[in-house]
Each structure stands twice: as structure tokens, then as C-alpha cells.
Structure 1
Amino acid sequence: MKNLVLFTLFLCSFCSYGQKKTLQAQQILQSISIDGKLEEPEWKNAAIASDFVMFDPDNGKSIPEGRRTEVKVLYNNDALYIGAVMYDDDPGKILKEISQRDNFGTADIFGVFINGFNDGQQNFEFFVSAADVQGDCVMTDANGEDYSWDAVWISKAVLTDTGWTVEMKIPYAALRFSEENKQTWGINFFREIKRERKKYTWSLIDTKIGTFTQQNGNLEGIENIKPPTRLFLMPYASYYLNAADGQKTYGTMKGGMDIKYGINDAFTLDAILIPDFGQAKYDDQILNLGPFEQQFNENRAFFTEGTDLFNKGKMFYSRRIGGKPSVEPDLKDNEEIIENPQNVNLINALKVSGRTKKGLGVGILNAVTEKTFATIKDTVTGETRKAIIEPLMNYNVLVLDQRFRKNSSVTFINTNVTRNGHFRDSNVSGLAWDLNTKANTYNLSGNVKYSTINDTEDKKGLYSTIGFAETSGKYRYSVGSDFVTKNFDPNDLGINFYTNYYNFYGNANYRILNPTKLFNSFKINYNMYAEFNKESGKVQENNIEANLNLTTVKNNYYGAGIAFYTKGNDYYEPRADNRYVIIPAKIETWGSISTNYNHKFALDLNPSITVFDENERMDYGFDIGPRYRFSDKLLLTYTFSFFRKNNNKGYIDSFDNDANENTTDAIVFANRNVITYSNMLGGKYALNSAMTLNLSVRQYWSYAENKDILQLQPDGTLTSYPQYTSNKNSSFYSWNTDLSYSWWFAPGSQLSVLYRNNASNFERVIDKEFKSSVTSLLNNDVLKHIFSVSVKYFIDYNAVKNKIRNRA
């Protein structure tokens, strides 16, 4: 009898745990004034979502009565309305820093997560801070929160004597749902009390399960609504004034339009006509001494918004589109290049993306760039000619992603680049899988990528990886392996550096799932990695690593780690087939401190040091970043970085040794000191939640001073090579300043004013006087000034149609 009672209690508790919370939406016949006051009588009759529980750090703990949260949902034929009351027993301590959209700073937050198909695959998330700042994103378990997605909706937050309140109006055009008469949506509500760094949700998100989107509650009661026509037009106009010392000042006007069209309830077409990326953030260039190109972040909105499907398999690098030209012009005797564009202009681009009811995600991206020429001059005759450095090009990405059991997927990806005429074409296909057990406790992931290049000859390659992991509980582990052939080359529309190797890796880690008396979070990792050259079998890299990351109960973050590397062989630094340089054994150690950003003053500090098993060879450096919040409107941040490499060994040149085909090329290295300084200043002043002034300044200087010249031997060792006398010292300076004003003057509509200056310079002569190096850069004619004004206006087809109908 006793066992039967225990079994019954267990069964009841299991059923109770598995039962989702449900909220009834209340239908209304008219609109609600979005003023944050919740005074309309319709709010009084609506059902209440309450009894919030903690998501982080003490998962599952009930919210205190003095911080209780109550949420109501109304709807009509046009939109969903959310009303929320956040009680606070000490309202004077509510944090309310004003910040830019999608960046909440130090402020309390309320949010709603909506899944119109209730399929556990994707949430549309809408947030409002206590400072009345909006944020929105798309959330998937595979890719996390993507804040590059922007919807058009209305909200208002108001501080009260008992806490704060929020009203939201979310038009149906900002959501995705079916045409069924009776709707059941997935929904959850979120609240963060910033001063305590505590996050709560209405429906419990159990952190032990390892999934987020599948733990929504249900929203019922929505009936007889129809998905609207999702057609949005965003015309824009821009003016640019360009100036530089010694050059003519000139102004240019640009105009164009972005279009977003809902093909059906699942798929959306995005297109840009006459694109304008002139106000995109500058790239943070560095002195790149390594064998691979520098990888840059994507700053163009079209290529960042809603691209989770296109990131599957890690085969798409959007910076290839409109990037540097890929063809080097052939120069005759006495010819030189006098004009060489650094980027190719984008003519237009479009993408179609979405997911069907049965979980099939489809993504298609297509872009066309224009034919680009360099200008070449004959130094004897003075005649000039044009040479193609990039033909007319078409870029295409196709993704088919089938999700099943709400937490697993199999994906096919293809990237294709076609250049007009007799130029290199590329086609790369891949298959990726991400498989999770029903309880989200184990994961099997991997991919097979295949590449083919059509140039003067066909090249084929292969990249394959497999990984297995335990993904739940306090103790977790993972193992995996990669295999990459020599000719694998996805770099026409992707980015990949290392080829011709295979590896094995593993990880074991321990974490706490709930806070202790000392820590809010605590995690310790142990990693192992071994990599081998595929053809020779030589060890390229072999290391073990341990690291620790924790957050104290006072919300200060600390991290530390140490790694041990055995002697290896670098097949990439020599820049020649089948050549390698021996890398000595080394020990790396690092630390990290980030104090609580809730305080007016906070500090980030990240020191590191690497000691090599080689005489006087060492790397060390740090970056330090103080920040001070003067008020809820004004924030300043500063970061100073210093890094030094003593007796670094690196490639500087190569040439034919002699006419004997059996003799290897001479590959020249240098024993050098590499020193890098950078200063970054950031500032934000918010006039209100719709207007902000932002400042970003970056100064960078790095130089490599060669001490001894060395020659690489066939066995990977380096010997003295004094007969090489060319100056291969390197010094690179850069300066960027962005001062911008942003005003969201209407929903989805923005005015941007930007002043920018930038300069960079590369030299072989090193001037070690820091002040003169910076001032000479700013005082010469390479400093460019740009002033620009851009206005974009959001037009909703439904709103226009309704206005015309009402006037009639």
C-alpha cells in the first residue's frame, strides 16, 4: 500500500510538471491606447498570468511576493496587446539606463516570447526596458537570440509608486501563424530585475533540459483572425559629403528601397534595390603577419538580419559579397596601377526564408555584384587602360533544413559563385546534422562538406566532422573528430583557413545548476586536442587545457585557464606546399575579471602570458577596460590593449633558390619582436529612448621589428641567413572615429546623422615614438572625413490600405 501511494504521488508530480501553463486571451472590438497605464476597462476583465519562477540563477525558485508580476493579453483583428505590471517593494532602486534599441544597458526588462505555430522551433521575442527602450529578436535553440531581426511594433513603459508597467501593441504582421480559425500559440513572459541579476519567466524554463523554445506555455482564446498581407516598403535617401587633405571635397546623393514581402504565412522575401551601406561600421583592421586573411564581422543589416538558416553548416561568409576584387591584373613592362578599387559594388540582393508546418526550413539568397576595373598607366607613354579585376558575379546560397521532434535537424547547404566569362567559378555542397535525444540529454552532430572549383583545372575537396556530447546535468562531456583534404576550398563564398589535416578532441566539464553561498555560477572545463597532417602524419598541434569560469553572488565574473602544448609542426606559416616549421612546446595561461556592470564604475581586465621552450621567446599582454555610468543617459567606456611577442619566428619572404628543379625554394623567416598598442573610447548620451548620440574612437598601432634573418630548412628548423638584406620590418597604424546621432521618429523609421574620419598607413620604417606616430597619421593627407545624413521611412501596406478604406 505504501509503495502504491508513493507511486501515485510520483505520477501526479510528473503529470503536474509536464502540464503546460495556459492563458486565455481576451478579444476586444477597438484599439487600446499604448500609454503604459492600463486604464482601459478591457484590461480589468482579462485573465492574469502570474506565479513567475526564476530562470537564472536559482532555476525554479518562485518570485517573491513583493516582486510579483502580472500579465494580461488582449487581441482584436489587427494586433495582439500585452499589458504587464511589475511590482517592486523598493521602486526607487529600479535600474533604468537609457540605451540604444536592442541594447538594454543597466535596466530592468520585461519581455514576451511568441510562437504562432506552437511547434517549439522558433520564438519571436519582444522586450521593453524600464527606461522605455525596445528590443526584439528571433530565438532558436540552435542559434540562440538573433537581435539583428527588427520588427515594427509599439510599446510604452511607465514607472509607478509600486514598480513599473508596460503596454505593447504587436501587429500580426510582425508574427507568423497559420490560418486556422482557433489558434493556440506558444507563449512565455520574461522579467529581469537588473540590480539583482535575477531573471524570471511565467512558464518554467528548466535549465537541466537543455532547450529553451520548447518550454513555452500556451495562449488560447484567439479566434477568427487572419494573417495580414506582410508587405513593407522602406524607401531611403542619403547624402554624403567627402573630404580629405589635398583632395577635392565632393557630395553625393543616394536613394533606394528595401522591400519585405510575406509570400505566405511561413516564407518571407527580402530585397534591396540600389543598396547603401555607407553608414555601416568600419572594420577594425590589424597588422596581419599570419598566413591567412583577416576575418571581419558583418555590419550590413541585410546580411545580418534573419540569417540563422544561412549559417547552418558554417559555409557562408557574407563578407565575400561586395568584398575585395578576386583578380590581379597582368602588368606589362613599364606599367603601374594608378586606380585600384578596394571593394566591389553590390547591384542588388534578395533572400527568401521561412519554415513550413512540417518543419522544413528553406533559405535562398542571391546577390549580384558589378563588373569592376582597375586603371593602369604606362609610365613611358603616359597612356592608360582598364583591366578587369572582378567580372560581373552572381552569388547564390540554398539551404534546406528539416527539423523533427522539435529539437533535431538535418540540413543540406549549397553555395555557388558564377563569374561571367573565363574566370574561376565555385560550387560547394554540404550536409549537416544536429540530432538530440527526446529528453535533450545527448547530442550527435556533424557534417560532410564537398567543394569543387572550376578554373583552368578542376579541384575537389572534402571536409567531414563528427561529434558526440552529453548535454544535460552537472557533469557533461563531448568527443569529436575532423577530417579535411588538401583541396577543400569554400572560400569564394565561405571562409576556411586550415586544410589537409585530421584531428581528435574531447571535453569534460562540471557546473553548478543552482547558486551556492559563494557562487551564482561555476564551471570548470578540461579540453584535449590533437591534430595531424593528413599526408605526413606529423603532429601539427597537441595540447591539453583546463579553465575555470565563475560568477560570485555579487555578480562579479572571474575566469582563468592554463594550456600545455607539445612540440608541433606548422604547415601553414611557410606558405609553400609540403613545407613546415617546427613550433616549440609552450605553456599558455590567462585570466579574466569583469566587475558588476550594475555599479556606476566597472572594470574589465584580461591578462595573458605564453612561455615557449625556446631561449627568450615569450608572448605577454593585457587589455584593461574601465567604464563609468555618469547617469542613466551618459556612459563612457575605455579600453587599452597591449601585447608583445619577444623572439617571434615568422615568414617574411620566399624566392627561387636556383634554376635546379630539385632544389626547394628559399623560404625566409625573421626572428622579430612584435608589439601592439590599441586605444578604444566609446560613449553614449541618450536624449530619450528614441534619440541617442554615440561616439566610437579606435587608435591602433602594431609593428614587427626584425632582429635576425633565418632560412627555413627542409626538416623544419631555422638557420641563420645573413645574406638576405631586404628591409621587411612592418609598421601599421590606423585611426577610426564615428560620431553619430540616431532618432527613431516613427515606428520603423529612422534619421541617422554621422560624422566619420579614418586613416591608415603601412610602412617599412618604424618610428617608435608613439606620439609622433599617431600625430603624423592624423596630420597627413590620408585622413578622410565623411559627413552623412540618411533617412529611412517604414511603410506598412496594411496601414495604408486601412487609411484609404476609412477615408472612403
Structure 2
Amino acid sequence: MKSSITLITLFFSSLFIPILAQENSTVEKRVYTTQFLNETEAPTIDGLLNDSSWDIVDWTSDYIENEPDENTPPTEQTKFKIVYDKSFLYFAFKCYDKDPKGIVKRLSRRDGFEGDWVEVNIDSYNDKRTGFSFTISASGVKGDEFISDNGNNWDGSWNPIWYVKTNVDEEGWTAEVKIPFSQLKFGASKEQVWGLQSTRRYFRAEERSVWQRVKRDAPGWVSEFGELRGLVDIQPQKQLEIQPFVVTQLDTYPKEEGNPFRDGSNSKITGGLDAKIGITNDLTLDLTINPDFGQVDADPGAIALDGFQIFFQERRPFFVENKNIFNYQFADGQDNLFYSRRIGRSPQGYPNTSGGEYVDIPTNSTILGAAKFSGKTKNGWSIGVLESVTDKEFAKIDDGTSRREALVEPLTNYIVGRAQKDFNNRNSYFGGIFTATNRNLQADQLNYLRKSAYTAGFDFMHNWKNRKYYILGNVVASQVNGSKEAIAITQRELTHLFQRVDAGHVEVDENRTSLTGTGGKLEIGKNSVGNWRYYGFFSWRSPELELNDIGFLRQADDIKQIGILTYQTLKPVGYFRRINARFEQFTTYDFDGNHNRTQNSLSSNVNLKNNWYLNYQLIHKPKIFTNTVLQGGPRFRYSEEVINSLNVSTDSRKKIRFDAGIVVSQGKDNSFSYTEFSSGFAYQPINAFTISMYPMYTINKSKTQYVTQTDFGATPRYIMADIDQRTLSAAIRMDYCINPNLTIQYYGEPFISRGKYRDFNRVTNPVAKYYGDRIEVFNSNQIAFDETNDRYDVDEDANGSTDYSVRNPDFAYVQFRSNLVLRWEYIPGSEVFLVWSQGTTGLGNPKDDLFTSLDSQILGRKPENIFLIKATYRFLL
């Protein structure tokens, strides 16, 4: 292990030595001054640049290369003009090209960013942290994103209404753009001063050039913009948009004899309304009534053997828009005070049933309505308030002669309030957040759910020395309330595990009706100037912290320290366009003072001159203890672990490109291992069509995989086994673009996972250094498989009688999901979707191999189908 780290260190050192530090001179801010024109003089948006209205302003050019060789002349030059009237901002772009036939005009859906393109970024708040991005490809495809966190986050879910046309001529290609002021946010001032940036992608050289130079060691993106001046007496446009929609849906599925809820098909027609109301030009009220929160891509298949919840990305448009304002990641990872997928979640209850009864439970809770008030003011206040109400949900139970209902989810109200204030010339901010979840629980119904949950937080950030250094921090607090049963369940959940037998600082109190916890982080670091950057932070989550009613918290009772050092080249060197390297070290403790983990990692990301990418990571975990694996049992030790991963990607510009990767994890003494093989290709034979497939195969082995716990007399027994888990999945996509506004997409993903258990054992010394001393494997006289009852009978004392039994944990899970979507944006902002979704989920035979399960459970099984048509019309009032 030491020799591996030494070799890697020497390798990176050999790369760093010849690279000289770049100059630290200040970059001069560029300024473009626009002019007003009457609406009758507005240019026709046809991409030809022949309107006389463009003559009132001058061209600006002198783009400078940003990637790969920063601060050098680009291969081809670009220029633009800007004019405006009382309602619109207009851009004209001229992208020179000595070989117009070589311009790459790849088609894609909106936000595809394929081929040659030019982009404009507008910081209309002039807050040096956020902005609006508009991208125009040579083929006429639009891309639009909301920029936040000084360029560290680009949100493609923002879809404003704007207009663009392009044209190729003998000098290159041109574009005309018209952006309504109603789609931007800005304050009321006599003369506006906005941040401005433009970027061009020259596809053949994979080169980026920019209007305003941004040094490679700059502290961010938006803070480095130039300025747009000359916007005088423009009136803030109060946005008013109404978007009604109608959805008709037909579901078909295999009929189940005797089950009245599975007769083979059902259909429905629904409608609803989304609206945007500009309270001011800064602040918008979003409303939705009977929303359609369907999503095109299904969640990826996954199995969590550790019992923890799985985090899935939000895709529903209402929650995605302006999500940066509501974001409150308070420690590290995915923990957040607001996790919008809690709203409309699957019902948490299940009815009591008897033999012969069939049950129908809604897939999701019905969202009766939601409202969101959000935006940013000219004074630097970011404000967000969200409220949503989900309906009561009932399960239907039918025994063939009568039908009854049982409540499985109560009427619930969710509230989120978020605010941040910029100050100190936009170099600092402070903010706060508050969330509330209130369930309308009735007596003796669902009293195992928490009745209410509240969280609050305070955060801040300060940059100094031209944003070279920064410090940030946050503090959160939570309180959950409910019946004694609900709070006792909370204390025993995997997130908390107050029942741990060796915990000296927590214990289950059956009489409690509330829990109160805290968490937070303090981070400080160097964020710009030169090749080196670094930061470190300290975070904590107290044992009683609970966020999972409207937030996301994987585990409480955790204290963490982390330090990170990164290196990046500022100029191409040798065979490399760019090199990034990172060293990371962290340790974790619990509130009982136990040192649970130490981890060190070294990683590199290399972009070669041929535009291939190489990624390598080495992770060493010399100390690994976990409080959760025995799920209420004692703290358990894992053996020292070493992880190596390597990924190679070919040039993404090529018509056919490949990816391949491998991850190998090995525990000391061969106590566990994990191997992951990933590969894939994308093929684009013509500009309008792309097909891709990315399969993945994993092998997970462990001699100490937790199975269950039971009692032997008055002594608890923690049962483990040797697991061999194999998982195969493949994401398949096909995209055909008839034109920028009419596209057909297919997505499909088979997912198969099979796990076999053997060599069952019990935990004897959970913290022993050698894994064999932690467990005692049952011999053939102590354990026997009962095939009739599908369980293992354990005679631990070998006296001829069964002491306890363990159900057979072998599993085979098979899933296939696919979507075929035709999308037509018949006018800007208004769309028609034709969707065919298909899926099947089943339990295979663990004795079969993965491909047999694929054949029998996916290819050989009748799937469930969803056919729907959704039409929207967007009124701009």
C-alpha cells in the first residue's frame, strides 16, 4: 500500500515540476454599451443580420481563448451587437469560419449543446453570483440555464420563452436572438448595469473563446463578467403566464384472476393549471392546481443492502425551477433541509388485512395544490416560500364480496421558507431557512407517523482578497413531535439507532413525544489564484437530528473533519490539455467519542491533447467502524480497505465514442471485495440521430454481510453470512431530432440483481482486528436448510433441537423500464407529448444466472404499459 502511494505521488510530482505559476495581474473589465430602438424598427429574427436596426450600435469582438490554452488568440474570431426596445433585448452574432462546410450542425433536444454554438450569459441582478444563460447552436437548437453559486451550478430545468434563428454563409455562421425582458429579473433603476459574458465553442478544435477574459485560476465565473451598459428607462416586466394542460392516459397490465384491482387495464383523463405571476419583476409567484408531476425518465434501478434510503434526483418541473434558492445542504453529501421528493411521496401506511383480501394502494400521494413565491431583489435578497398540500390517501381492500377502505397517508401540509442577503459588494451573504411538516392525524389512525416536524437553519459566507479566500458555515436545528409510538419508532430507525447495545450516550425512551437535534458545518479555504487550492471543514449531526419529513438525512450521530488539497494546470503541457489532481483526508467520530473512520484518497482527472479523458482514484481506509450495520447491535469493525478506480473516455466529439471503467475494492484478509465494470458507446451516424448503450456489471462479495438478528435465550444473536451478489444493468438511449422543436427519444434500462448467501455465522467479537475473530461460522451440525419452509434452522448448541430460524435471504430482483417520447414544441413554451412507458418488475430464481433471469423475467413476461398524451398551452399576458 505504501509503495502504491509513493509511486502515485512521484507521478504527480513529475507533472507539477515543469509547470510555472501564472501571472496574477488584474483582468480589465470590458464594457459594451447598447442603444434603444423603437419597436417599429425591431430586427426580423431570421439569422441574416441585414436589418438596418443593427446599424445604430457597433460590433464588439476580440474574443480570447479560454480552453484549452487560456489567454491566446482563438482559431476563429467572433463578434456581436446588442440593441433593445421597451420589451425585448436583441443580439446579433457573427461567428467567422474559414471553412463554412466544416461547421458542425448537430441536432438535439433543447439544452443538448451539440456541435458549434455561441452563448451569452447575463447577470441582470449584477450580484456576481447568479445569471441567465442562452446558448444558440449552429443548427438552431436552443439551450438555457440558470447559473448560481458563481458558476458552480448550471440548472438546465429553467425554460424561458425566447426566439432564435441561425444561418450559414460564406464567412461562417450567424445568429439573431430576441429575449423578452419578462424572462429576466432586474430591479427598477434609471440605468441598468448588468454583468455580460459571451462564449463560443469552436467544435473542430474543442476550443472555447470568451468575450471577457476569465483566468483559469479565477474564483468563479459570474464574478468575472464584463458589463452591459446603456439600458436606460427599461421598465421591469411583471411576468404573467398561464399554462393549462390536459392529460389522457391508458394503462394496460397482466390480468390477475380474482383480483378486482388488476383487471387488465384502466384509463383516465385529467387536467390542471400552472401559472406564473410576477408580483414584481424580481419576485414570482408560481401556482399549480391538480398538477401533473409525471417524469419522462424513470428512476434508475437500485438495491440497498445496508437498509439506508436511496437519494433520487428531482425531475418534476414545479420543484426543479428556482431550486437553488431553496437549497440548504448543511453538512456534506446529499443531506439537505429540503428534499422536494417528500412531497407527493408514496403512502407510508399499509392496511391490516386477512387471508383472501386484495389491496390497491395509490402509487403516490395526491398533491392538491402548491404555491411557490421566489426570486431575488435588486437589494440582494434571495427569497423563497413554498407551500403544498397533499391529500388523504386510502387503500382499497376487497375480499371478493365486500370492499372497504383504510387510511394509508394523512392530509399533510408542507411549508418551506428561505432567505439570503448579499452584502459587502456581493462578497458576502447570510441567510436562513425554516421548514414545517404538519400531518392531520386522527385518533388511532396512523399514529406511528410523526404528527409534525420543524427545522430551522442559519448560513453565511464571506470572501476576501478578491475572492481568493473564503469562509462559510451553517447551523441547523430540528424538532419532531408525535405519539409515544411514533417517537419510539423514530429513535429505533436506522438513521438514529438509540437501541444500540454498546452506546453510552443514547437510549430509547418509550415515553418521549418529541426529539430535538442540531447540525452544522464550518468551512474555510483558498478558492483562486495559482495552481493550488485547498479547503477544510468540520461538521456535526447530533443523535436526535431528524430531517426526513421534508428533508434528507442519511445518518445522525456523526462528527466529521475533512481536508482537501487540489492542483490544476493553467496551461496545456506536454500531451495534456489539462490536469487536475486532488488529495483528500477525513476522519469521523460519533457523539460517544468513538473514532469510526479514517480515509485518505488521491485522484486525478486528465484531459489529453486528443481530447480523451483519464480518471484515476486511489482510496485507502485504514480504520472502518460502523454503528449501523448490526441495526441496533454493537459497533462493528470492517477490515482495512483499498479501492482503485480507472475510467477512460474517448473524444466526445466523434461520431462514435466509448467509455470504459473499472473499480476494484479489496478488504484486508479477503474479508470483502467489490468489483465494477462499466463500459459503453454512443454512435451518431448523422447529425439528427444518436444511439447509446452503457452497461454495468458489479460483483459484491462479503464474508460479513448482515442478515438478521434474533435471541438465543436472553442473549441477542447477530447473524451474518458470506454473500455473492451480481448485478447487471444497461442504460439504452436513442434520440432522433426531426428539427429543433420536434424530437423522438427512447430510454430503456434493464436491471438485474442476484444475491446468494452461504457460510452463515454469528457475531462474537464485533471489534476484533481480524475478521475471522469477529464471527463464528456455523458448522454442518449447527445449521440445516428447511426447503419446505425456505429457511435455515440453527441448532447453535448442537443438542438436536432448533434454537432459532433464519429465513432464506437469497434474492433475485429483476426490473425493466422504458420510455418512448415524441415531443413537439409547436409554439415557444407550448408543447405536445406522446408517451409510451413500459415496465416490468419481478422476483427471479436466485439459482438462475443473470441472463436466465433477463430472459424469463423481462423478455418472457408480459409488461405493464402506459400510453399518454399531454398537451400544454402557454399564455403570455
TM over 0.5, shorter chain: yes
Tell me if 1:40 matches 2:51: yes
Task: Classify 1:220/1:478 alpha carbon distance in 2 versus 1 (closer, same or farther; 3 Å).
Answer: closer
Check the 8 A contact 1:26/1:47 in 2, yes or no.
no
Shift of 1:332: 7.1
Instruction: Find the partner of 2:572 among 496, 499, 515.
Output: 515
- SS where residue 686 of structure 2 aligns? coil
Tell me if 1:219 matches 2:228: yes
Shift of 1:649: 2.6
Name structure 2 gaps, 5 residues minimum.
1-22, 256-262, 330-335, 443-448, 484-512, 768-773, 784-793, 795-804
Task: Classify 1:28/1:62 alpha carbon distance in 2 versus 1 (closer, same or farther; 3 Å).
Answer: farther
Tell me if 1:389 matches 2:400: no
Q: d(CA) in 1 for partners of 2:99 and 2:601?
A: 45
Q: d(CA) in 1 for partners of 2:24 and 2:600?
A: 42
Tell me if 1:554 matches 2:610: yes
Q: Scaled by the length of structure 1, what TM-score is found?
A: 0.92
Shift of 1:733: 0.5
Per the alignment, residue 800 of structure 1 pairs with none
Task: Classify 1:766/1:259 alpha carbon distance in 2 versus 1 (closer, same or farther; 3 Å).
Answer: farther
- SS where residue 309 of structure 1 aligns? helix
Check the 8 A contact 1:245/1:780 in 2, yes or no.
no
Q: Which AA in structure 1 matches 2:471?
A: L
Task: Classify 1:233/1:359 alpha carbon distance in 2 versus 1 (closer, same or farther; 3 Å).
Answer: same
Per the alignment, residue 73 of structure 1 pairs with 82
Q: Which AA in structure 1 matches 2:710?
A: F
- SS where residue 280 of structure 2 aligns? coil
Per the alignment, residue 677 of structure 2 pairs with 622
Q: d(CA) in 2 for partners of 1:99 and 1:589?
A: 36
Shift of 1:623: 0.4
Q: Which AA in structure 2 matches 1:792?
A: T
Check the 8 A contact 2:36/2:83 in 1, yes or no.
yes
- SS where residue 223 of structure 2 aligns? helix
Q: Which AA in structure 2 matches 1:341?
A: P
Q: Which AA in structure 2 matches 1:572?
A: T
Q: d(CA) in 1 for partners of 2:301 and 2:84?
A: 50
- SS where residue 95 of structure 1 aligns? coil
Per the alignment, residue 708 of structure 2 pairs with 653
- SS where residue 318 of structure 2 aligns? helix
1:507-542 CA deviation, whole Å, 9 max, x = no partner? 11211112223211101111111112321x333221
Shift of 1:177: 2.1
Instruction: Find the partner of 1:245 among 254, 279, 286.
Output: 254
Q: d(CA) in 1 for partners of 2:627 and 2:356?
A: 35
Q: d(CA) in 2 for partners of 1:433 and 1:182?
A: 31
Give the share of equivalent positions with the same residue, in percent. 25
Q: Which AA in structure 2 matches 1:288?
A: A
> Does 537-546 or 114-123 show the bigger shift?
114-123
Matches within 5 A, 1:106-505: 107-142=115-150, 143-246=152-255, 247-313=263-329, 314-329=336-351, 331=352, 338-376=359-397, 384-404=403-423, 405-421=425-441, 423-424=449-450, 425-456=452-483, 457-472=513-528, 473-505=530-562
Instruction: Find the partner of 1:49 among 53, 60, 64.
Output: 60
Shift of 1:378: 7.2
> Does 755-764 or 591-600 show the bigger shift?
755-764
Shift of 1:764: 6.8
Check the 8 A contact 1:728/1:764 in 2, yes or no.
no
Shift of 1:779: 3.6
Q: d(CA) in 2 for partners of 1:459 and 1:601?
A: 56
Shift of 1:111: 1.3
- SS where residue 129 of structure 2 aligns? coil
Tell me if 1:770 matches 2:848: no
Task: Classify 1:81/1:650 alpha carbon distance in 2 versus 1 (closer, same or farther; 3 Å).
Answer: same
> Does 412-421 or 758-767 show the bigger shift?
758-767
Q: d(CA) in 1 for partners of 2:430 and 2:279?
A: 24
Per the alignment, residue 20 of structure 1 pairs with 30
Q: d(CA) in 1 for partners of 2:297 and 2:216?
A: 36
Shift of 1:249: 2.5
Q: Which AA in structure 2 matches 1:264?
A: T
Instruction: Find the partner of 1:575 among 627, 631, 650.
Output: 631
Per the alignment, residue 817 of structure 2 pairs with 736
- SS where residue 643 of structure 2 aligns? strand
Check the 8 A contact 1:179/1:226 in 2, yes or no.
yes
Question: What's the RMSD between the two structures over aligned residues?
Answer: 2.1
Aligned length: 772
Q: Which AA in structure 1 matches 2:569?
A: I
1:21-73 CA deviation, whole Å, 9 max, x = no partner? 23333424423211000111111332211111122222222334xx1211011
- SS where residue 587 of structure 1 aligns? strand
Q: d(CA) in 1 for partners of 2:765 and 2:514?
A: 29
Check the 8 A contact 1:291/1:572 in 2, yes or no.
no
1:234-279 CA deviation, whole Å, 9 max, x = no partner? 1111111111122332321111111011110210111111111234
- SS where residue 721 of structure 2 aligns? strand
Check the 8 A contact 1:23/1:49 in 2, yes or no.
no
Check the 8 A contact 2:411/2:439 in 1, yes or no.
yes
Name structure 1 gaps, 5 residues minimum.
1-12, 798-808
Q: Which AA in structure 1 matches 2:605?
A: N
Q: d(CA) in 1 for partners of 2:635 and 2:363?
A: 32
Check the 8 A contact 2:580/2:605 in 1, yes or no.
yes
> Does 182-191 or 161-170 show the bigger shift?
182-191
Per the alignment, residue 786 of structure 1 pairs with 866
Check the 8 A contact 2:756/2:846 in 1, yes or no.
no
Check the 8 A contact 2:661/2:677 in 1, yes or no.
yes
- SS where residue 63 of structure 1 aligns? coil
Q: d(CA) in 1 for partners of 2:280 and 2:202?
A: 39
> Does 400-409 or 762-771 show the bigger shift?
762-771
Shift of 1:392: 0.2
Shift of 1:469: 1.2
- SS where residue 575 of structure 1 aligns? coil
Q: d(CA) in 1 for partners of 2:439 and 2:358?
A: 23
Q: Which AA in structure 2 matches 1:685?
A: Y
Q: Which AA in structure 2 matches 1:545?
A: S
Q: d(CA) in 1 for partners of 2:764 and 2:364?
A: 38
Shift of 1:402: 1.4
Q: d(CA) in 2 for partners of 1:475 and 1:133?
A: 38
1:723-764 CA deviation, whole Å, 9 max, x = no partner? 144211111110011111111110111111111101112357
- SS where residue 857 of structure 2 aligns? helix
Q: d(CA) in 2 for partners of 1:15 and 1:554?
A: 31
Per the alignment, residue 3 of structure 1 pairs with none
Shift of 1:195: 2.0
Q: Scaled by the length of structure 2, what TM-score is found?
A: 0.85
Q: Which AA in structure 2 matches 1:409?
A: Y
Shift of 1:130: 0.8
Tell me if 1:756 matches 2:837: yes
- SS where residue 618 of structure 1 aligns? strand
Matches within 5 A, 1:581-730: 581-615=636-670, 617-658=672-713, 660=714, 663=715, 665-713=716-764, 715-716=766-767, 717-721=774-778, 722=783, 723=794, 724-730=805-811
Q: Which AA in structure 1 matches 2:369?
A: N
Check the 8 A contact 1:325/1:343 in 2, yes or no.
yes
- SS where residue 39 of structure 1 aligns? coil
- SS where residue 50 of structure 1 aligns? coil
Check the 8 A contact 2:659/2:680 in 1, yes or no.
yes
- SS where residue 121 of structure 2 aligns? strand
- SS where residue 516 of structure 1 aligns? coil
Q: d(CA) in 2 for partners of 1:732 and 1:16?
A: 59
Q: Which AA in structure 2 matches 1:169?
A: K
Q: d(CA) in 1 for partners of 2:25 and 2:39?
A: 38
Shift of 1:132: 0.5
Shift of 1:453: 0.6
Q: Which AA in structure 2 matches 1:325?
A: P
Check the 8 A contact 2:186/2:378 in 1, yes or no.
no
Q: d(CA) in 2 for partners of 1:599 and 1:124?
A: 30
Check the 8 A contact 2:735/2:746 in 1, yes or no.
yes
